[in-house]
């Protein structure tokens, strides 16, 4: 099973959206610089890949990391701050940095795991979180390709925009402006809001 990363604050926002609306969104860069150049691109979905065709004849395939119908686990910072033997089975005591919640996860063997970080109090990077240590799982419900600035007000809310940062009237403009700030806090030039890059849009729900 693949993992997916969110910054801590964004993860909390996504979880809130899932709790309130049942479905959320995330936009991810596809990674091909050629397509981010301004151009008249058209995308067609074929067998798990999106084929981009430009008016001058250039064509390439872009495969999203996640597919509709795929289950994914959310990676977050965590630690194995201790371990113990319970009824003959080693149990991982996993602590999550986001909220310091502790979970006890049993292993089906009687010897301790051999990972070098086992039993340390140091938080590990989310990049290295294995599936067995995850506590949040999602189902990708849809995937499509679009320019970043095509996002709608409803999509901004599904992305988890923090409405408390908006001063005054909450209009379509102010909500999109809040999402612009959120995007630019993660993506720097040449993939900032003003560059209007092509993105994969993933919708997902809790599994």
The CA dihedral of 14, 188, 2, 82, to the nearest 10 degrees, is -80
Which of 91, 118, 133 is the C-terminal boundary of a domain? 133
Report pLDDT for 34.
52
Task: Please tell me whether residues 24 and 117 are part of one structural domain.
Answer: no
pLDDT of 38: 47
**pLDDT averaged over consecutive 10-residue blocks of the chain (207 residues)?**
96 96 93 55 68 62 87 94 66 90 79 59 88 95 91 97 86 95 92 90 96
Total of domains in the chain: 2
Q: Which pLDDT does position 101 carry in this prediction?
A: 95
Q: What does the alpha-carbon distance between residue 91 and residue 133 come to, in Å, rounded to a whole number?
A: 11
Q: Please give the Cα distance from 207 to 105 (Å, whole number).
A: 19
The predicted structure's pLDDT at residue 168: 79
Report the C-alpha gap between 185 and 187 in whole angstroms.
6
Whether the Cβ atoms of residue 97 and residue 129 lie closer than 8 Å to each other: no
Separation of alpha carbons 137 and 143, rounded Å: 17
- Whether residues 50 and 108 fall in one domain: no
> 141 and 43 in one domain?
yes
Find the helix or strand (DSSP H, E) in which 138 lies. strand 137-147
Residue-wise DSSP of 49-61? EEEEEETTS-EEE
| Residue span of the structural domain in which 142 resides | 2-73+136-206
pLDDT given for residue 105 in this prediction: 85
What pLDDT, on the 0 to 100 scale, is given for residue 104?
A: 87
Q: Are 17 and 43 within one domain?
A: yes
CATH of the domain at 191: 3.10.400
């Amino acid at each position: 099973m693949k993992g997916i990363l969110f910054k801590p604050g964004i993860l909390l926002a996504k979880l809130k959206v899932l709790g309130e609306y049942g479905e959320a969104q995330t936009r991810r860069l596809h990674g091909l610089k050629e397509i981010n150049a301004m151009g008249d691109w058209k995308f067609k979905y074929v067998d798990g890949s999106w084929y981009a065709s430009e008016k001058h004849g250039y064509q390439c395939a872009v495969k999203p990391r996640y597919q509709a119908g795929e289950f994914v686990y959310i990676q977050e910072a965590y630690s194995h701050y201790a371990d113990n033997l319970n009824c003959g089975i080693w149990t991982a005591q996993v602590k999550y940095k986001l909220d310091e919640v502790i979970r006890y996860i049993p292993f089906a063997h009687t010897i301790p795991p051999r990972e070098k970080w086992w039993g340390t109090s140091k938080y590990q990077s989310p990049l290295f979180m294995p599936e067995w240590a995850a506590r949040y799982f999602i189902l990708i419900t849809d995937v499509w390709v679009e320019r970043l600035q095509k996002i709608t007000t409803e999509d901004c809310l599904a992305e988890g925009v923090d409405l408390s940062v908006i001063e005054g009237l909450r209009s379509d403009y102010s909500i999109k402006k809040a999402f612009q700030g959120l995007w630019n806090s993660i993506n720097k030039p040449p993939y900032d809001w003003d560059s209007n890059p092509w993105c994969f849009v993933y919708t997902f729900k809790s599994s």
